[in-house]
Amino acid sequence: MIDVQNLTKYYGDFCAVDDISLTIEPGRILGLLGPNGAGKTTTLRMLTGFFSPTSGTIRINDLKMPEDTLKIKSMIGYLPESAPLYHNMLVYDYLDYVARLKGMDDPDRRLARFRELGRLCGLSGIMDKPIGNLSKGLRQRVGLAHAMMSDPDILILDEPTSGLDPNQIAEIRDIIKGIGREKTIIFSTHILSEAEATCDRIAIINKGKKVADASTEQLKQNARHRSLIRLTLQNAEITAALDHLKAFDASLDITVTDTPASEGISFELCSKEDKDIRQDLYLSIKKTDWIITELARQSLALEEIFHELTREGV
């Protein structure tokens, strides 16, 4: 159980994180979403004890920062952004160093853990290579092995898939899902589909403030309520069509989209109310001599919500 209350961080005058509160139940995957510079990394750094917050409290189970920072650190596995590692060390030496620092004194236990992590993170073939010679994806996996070394209850991953190719992203995502069955995971990303695919819960932050915090299902549900209708008409005059649509339902939010003239005129209609207007729309247009070539409902994707919540002021 992670409980964060009113977390705030100032860098000089600049407020990077503004009054964020979060609670995360054990065994859940929380995705921290936000545009670049929203304060994701700063929030995670405070959770891991790397930064101390300007104000606010962080509690993990019964432990509190900063009094129990050392104990909390030993419960958390952290993968910093872009997995910074010692480039001149061999993968094996690095993992051994990490294991020792995490208090794994028994050599047999260390070796068993390296084998397990080697299999889990796909490191078996590169244990004897210098980290500096590895590709970005492989380094990311070494970083992941670092984070999971002592089998911590909480994993904090800062943009674990950034800079990876699609195959690697899928692999890392599978690993996260796999370990997320037992562990609490918090990870940050700016890729929405990723959060949608892996997280139980999503918190969106923008400019240091939390703007949304709900389960992934709930967020999608909210999105579905406000649907968007795409309508394409042929044989129609643009002004006449607009007048007709306004007469049909004055509360509609109508935008004309760019389409080649040969395909007719396209509109995007956004209904304020939560009901399906397609039937009525069809019946109303049937009375004219226009031809409907497209009439489709699109549910607002998570992406739209994200844009809406984070775009203002840009």
Partner 1 sequence: MTPIKTIALKEFKDYFISPIAYIVISLFLIVTGWFFFSTFFIYGRADLRDFFALLPITFSFFIPAVTMRMFAEEKNVGSYESLLTMPVSFAHIALGKFFAASAFAAAMLLPTLSYPLFISFLGNVDLGPVAGGYIGAILLGGAYCSIGLFASALTRNQIIAFIIGCAICFTLTIIDRMLFFVPESLVPAVEYLGANAHFTNISKGIIDSRDLIYFASVIFIFIFSTDIAMKEKN
With respect to partner 1, which residue has the nearer C-beta, 6 or 52? 52
The CA-atom distances, in angstroms, between 87 and each of 47, 94, 162, 163, 197 are: 26, 9, 19, 18, 33
The encoded tokens of residue 306 equal 């994200």
Could you say whether residue 139 binds partner 1 (CB under 8 A)? no
Q: Which stretch binds partner 1 (CB under 8 A): 45-53, 119-127, 159-167, 179-187?
A: 45-53
**Piece of the chain touching partner 1 by CB under 8 A; list 16-24, 46-54, 116-124, 234-242:** 46-54
CB of 213 to partner 1, least distance (A): 25
Residues, the chain, total? 314
* Closest-CA residue to 9 (of 185, 182, 209): 209
What is the closest distance, in whole angstroms, from the C-beta atom of residue 164 to partner 1 in the complex? 18
Stretch that binds partner 1, among 48-56, 218-226, 233-241, 251-259 (CB under 8 A): 48-56
Tell which one of 1, 86, 286, 311 touches partner 1 (CB under 8 A).
86
Cβ at position 84, least distance to partner 1 in Å: 3
- Verify binding: residue 84, partner 1, rule CB under 8 A: yes
- Interaction of residue 11 with partner 1, rule CB under 8 A: no
Q: Are 138 and 171 in contact (CB under 8 A)?
A: no
Say if residue 35 is preceded by a cis peptide, omega within 30 of 0. Answer: no
Size of the site for partner 1 (CB under 8 A): 29
Q: What are phi and psi of 15, to 5 degrees?
A: -95, 105
Grouping H, G, I as helix, E, B as strand and the rest as coil, residue 200 is coil
Tell me which stretch binds partner 1 (CB under 8 A): 77-85, 201-209, 271-279, 293-301. Answer: 77-85
| Cβ proximity to partner 1, 97 vs 282, nearer residue | 97
Which residue of 55, 87, 238, 299 would you call a contact of partner 1, by CB under 8 A? 87
Sign for the pseudo-dihedral over CA of 7, 11, 13, 14: negative
Which helix (H) or strand (E) segment is 46 a member of? helix 40-47
In the complex, the smallest distance separating the C-beta of residue 116 from partner 1, rounded to whole angstroms, is 20
CB of 105 vs partner 1, minimal distance in Å: 7
Confirm or reject binding of residue 115 to partner 1 (CB under 8 A): no
Question: Of 25, 50, 116, 225, which one interacts with partner 1 (CB under 8 A)?
Answer: 50
Nearer to partner 1, 140 or 227 (CB): 140
**Radius of gyration from C-alpha coordinates of the chain:** 25
Residues 6 or more apart whose Cβ sits within 8 Å of residue 199? 29, 30, 31, 187, 216
In whole angstroms, give the CA distance from residue 195 to residue 186. 11
Residues 55-74 that bind partner 1 (CB under 8 A): 70-71, 73-74
Tell me the CA distances in angstroms from 290 to 147, 165, 233, 286, 294, one per residue in order.
62, 47, 6, 8, 12
Q: Is 120 helix (H, G, I), strand (E, B) or coil?
A: helix
Q: Which residues bind partner 1 (CB under 8 A)?
A: 45, 48-52, 70-71, 73-74, 76, 78, 80, 82, 84-89, 97-98, 100-103, 105, 143, 146
